[in-house]
Chain A
């Protein structure tokens, strides 16, 4: 069973802090990794994708990938209350862009 694991959370950080969200995956063949943000009652929204080892930065978001450790993370700098949401990690686990998702972790940013 190919799995994507995320800490169950919830995670609470003060406004302005760095939020660190972690994810591990079981399929060594996975090549593509995605972070989605899902607000309560809404659908998942893509915020970051990463395909190579190392860091990828986009504004306040940094995705990190370590294929040797099968580990993906998302850092959110200068966290804002509007970042409060559930964050889903996903990895491709087959052909045709089939993605396997983690359960998600709920982030709460305290004003």
Chain B
């Protein structure tokens, strides 16, 4: 399997549920990212991990909790979300150096009811 793989592709959850999004990259990259994409808004960077260490938390509410056990895997744990958190959540990876482009996964379409 190649590229960046995200699961699940679609997720519907209630506001009291706990769920997790999973991302795996097979590109040998050492940086991984979570982005949120909402309608009519730019992609919003949420978290950045370099060599498993979190290097960026873009003022994300604590109901989103990232986990990066190694350079190939990234999780986003979700709990007590709000309807406005409904969006496309994109995982990406890159080499951890300047000029490196991001490679995106297919995303998880999240709906919070």
Contact = CB atoms under 8 A, between A and B. Distances in A.
Contacts of A49: 99, 101
Contact of B104 (A43, A92, A98, A103): A43
A97 B31 contact: yes
Contact of B96 (A32, A43, A97): A97
A96 B42 contact: no
B107 A43 contact: yes
* Interface footprint category on B: 20 to 34
Interface in A62-111: 88, 90, 92, 95-104
A20 to B, nearest CB: 21
A98 B56 contact: yes
Interface of B: 31, 40-43, 45, 48, 50, 55-56, 90, 94-107
9 contacts: A31-B99, A88-B43, A92-B98, A95-B55, A97-B96, A97-B100, A100-B42, A100-B45, A103-B40
